[in-house]
Amino acid sequence: MGPTGDANDHGLLTAAETSLLVDQYELAMAASYHRQGMNEPAAFELFARRLPANRDWLLVAGLGPTLRLVTEMRFGARELEYLGTIGFRAEFLDYLADFRFAGDIDALPEGTLAFANEPLVRVTAPRIEAQLLETLLLNQVNFQTMLASKTARILLAAGEGEPDRGGGVVDFSPRRDHGTDAAMKAARSAAIAGAAGTSNVAAAMRYGLAPVGTMAHSYVMSFASEEEAFRKFMRDTPENAVMLVDTYDTLEGVRRAISASRATGVRLKGVRLDSGDILELSRKTRALLDEAGMSETTIVASGDLEEDQISRCVAAGAPVDLWGVGTDLGTSRDSPTVNGVYKLVADRGADGHWRGVIKQSAAKATMPGRKQVFRRYDEGGVMAGDVVALAEEECEGRPLLVPAMRGGDVVHTESLAEMRERAANELRSLPRELTLPGERDRTAYRVEWSEHLRDAAEEATAVAGVGAASGARG
């Protein structure tokens, strides 16, 4: 394919090609900085100014794949040829041809809880390099954090406010995810939050997750009778004999699954309820299974499930072992955006000193300086409050951002098990008011600015105030 467009291209990018998954203005600014030799170190931070609607916290996800992408970003010959056709000059293209990100990244490890105005990622690098990461970092971290947060809420709903109690949750979202990359990252983000597996086989393979699946209605309908379908599936897939029982009549389907299990001698591993009143049907199903001596057979529920519905079912004692959630997990329908932004917070002047940078647009102020977040806990291990401070400060509490990349090399690599364990610990340490669905006391968790940071902001505001009058910045 040449650099000109093909309306029917599959649209998939390689890791190297994500170099052009960049807003045009990043390149325009970078080209201007390059012409002017403005490539001194600068620091940018990725954070959300406000928590999303219906959210009291974020569960951070996406760092690992994002770091990998950053190390693999390259401007190849086709990309450079295209950039030449849209007006970028040869000297800048030469710079891009050699581009490798060689800066530093600090970040919240995946599975950390975060709040508004807390940096999730901080990039310190020559200005052009830091600028060129903006779109990719936001494109990856925003939605993965959204999906991990949503999955954590579903797990809390399934466990009556405790992440590791109650039924498990499985990602059934690929059909509602936004394309291939979203499906891969939805499964991964859900796993970090504590999901028990995914229906997405590609994600199970890449990320070492448990692949989960049963059968569709079309399978049942492809045989002369429901019971014949169950028998055939049991004989062909004896190790995964989970029967979808609601194609015709749910409780009749349960009886036929029991009967097929007896006829084939294959242990009925589970039944899946995909429609109807899950509370009532799960109770009656449990009774039928227990009567048949199949108390080990699990009940899987699915079918456009949402956290509130799961929470109500669990509170009423629905004997569901596994919740398969698709649309709401994959699109976070009740809160479908995380508005993370990526802002310049400091740069190093000709004098070699770092200077905090402040933005003053109405309602979009940015606190200056490179930051760290310190988290305190009470005696019971419950989170007691965060302080956002300057990176060089020493505050009470546990510092949350860790070195993730140094000089372009990844220095923070964790297993999925480590991320999951962190997420579980974080969710267990949440104040109880923030773990329950429905109305919450949004003042329950305090995030404060450190005194030094407030001083720095005042100073920068005073300087920028002068600047605003003359258009100058200090």
Which residues between 414 and 453 bind its own copies (CB under 8 A)?
414-416, 419
Q: Helices 416-428 and 134-158 meet at what angle, rounded to 10?
A: 60
What amino acid occupies position 103?
A: G
User: Do 244 and 217 contact (CB within 8 A), yes or no?
Assistant: yes
Please tell me whether residue 209 binds its own copies under the rule CB under 8 A: yes
Applying CB under 8 A, does 361 fall inside the site for its own copies? Answer: yes
If binding is defined by CB under 8 A, does position 106 make contact with its own copies?
no
Question: Looking only at residues 323 through 352 of this chain, which bind its own copies when binding is defined by CB under 8 A?
Answer: 327, 331-333, 336-337, 339-340, 342-344, 347
- Whose Cβ is closer to its own copies: residue 81's or residue 392's? 81
Exactly one of 56, 106, 274, 426 binds its own copies (CB under 8 A); that residue is: 274
Q: Helix 134-158 to helix 307-315 angle, to the nearest 10 degrees?
A: 20
Q: Which segment (175-183, 389-397, 422-430, 440-448) binds its own copies by CB under 8 A? A: 175-183
Residue 120, phi-psi category: left (phi > 0), alpha (psi -120 to 50), beta (remainder): alpha
Closer residue to its own copies (CB): 32 or 441 = 32
In one-letter notation, the amino acid at residue 192 is I
Place of tokens 């970040």: 107
The answer to the question of residue 411 lying near its own copies (CB under 8 A) is no
- The answer to the question of residue 395 lying near its own copies (CB under 8 A) is no
Among residue numbers 41 through 60, which ones bind its own copies (CB under 8 A)? 42, 44
Question: Least CB distance from residue 444 to its own copies, whole Å?
Answer: 26
CB of 382 to its own copies, least distance (A): 29
Answer whether 142's CB lies under 8 Å from 340's CB.
Answer: yes
**Contact between 371 and its own copies (CB under 8 A)?**
no
Q: Does 403 bind its own copies (CB under 8 A)?
A: no
Is residue 354 near its own copies by the rule CB under 8 A? no
Closest CA to 141 of 443, 404, 427, 422: 404
Positions in 3-32 near its own copies (CB under 8 A): 3-15, 17-18, 20-29, 31-32
Show the tokens assigned to 383.
């989170």
Q: Which of 77, 90, 224, 350 binds its own copies (CB under 8 A)?
A: 224
How many residues bind its own copies (CB under 8 A)? The answer is: 145
H/E element holding 152? helix 134-158
**Within 13 A of 465's CA, how many CA atoms are on the CB side?**
6
Candidates 97-105, 209-217, 427-435, 451-459 — which segment interacts with its own copies by CB under 8 A? 209-217
Site for its own copies in 230-259 (CB under 8 A): 232-233, 236-237, 239-240, 246-249, 252, 256
Amino acid at site 314: V
If one asks whether residue 458 binds its own copies (CB under 8 A), the answer comes out as no
The one among 100, 165, 175, 262 contacting its own copies by CB under 8 A: 175
Residue 150's region, left for phi above 0, alpha for psi from -120 to 50, else beta, is alpha
How far apart CA 16 and CA 142 sit, in angstroms, is: 21
Of the pair 9, 351, the CB lying nearest its own copies is at: 9
Q: How far is CA 366 from CA 1, 48, 140, 337, 454, in A?
A: 43, 11, 22, 20, 12
Contacting its own copies within 110-149 (CB under 8 A): 127, 131, 134-135, 138-140, 142-143
Contact 180, 206 (CB under 8 A): no
Q: How far apart are CA 156 and CA 144, in angstroms?
A: 18
Question: Taking CB under 8 A as the rule, does residue 201 contact its own copies?
Answer: yes
Candidates 152, 320, 357, 388; binder of its own copies (CB under 8 A) is 357
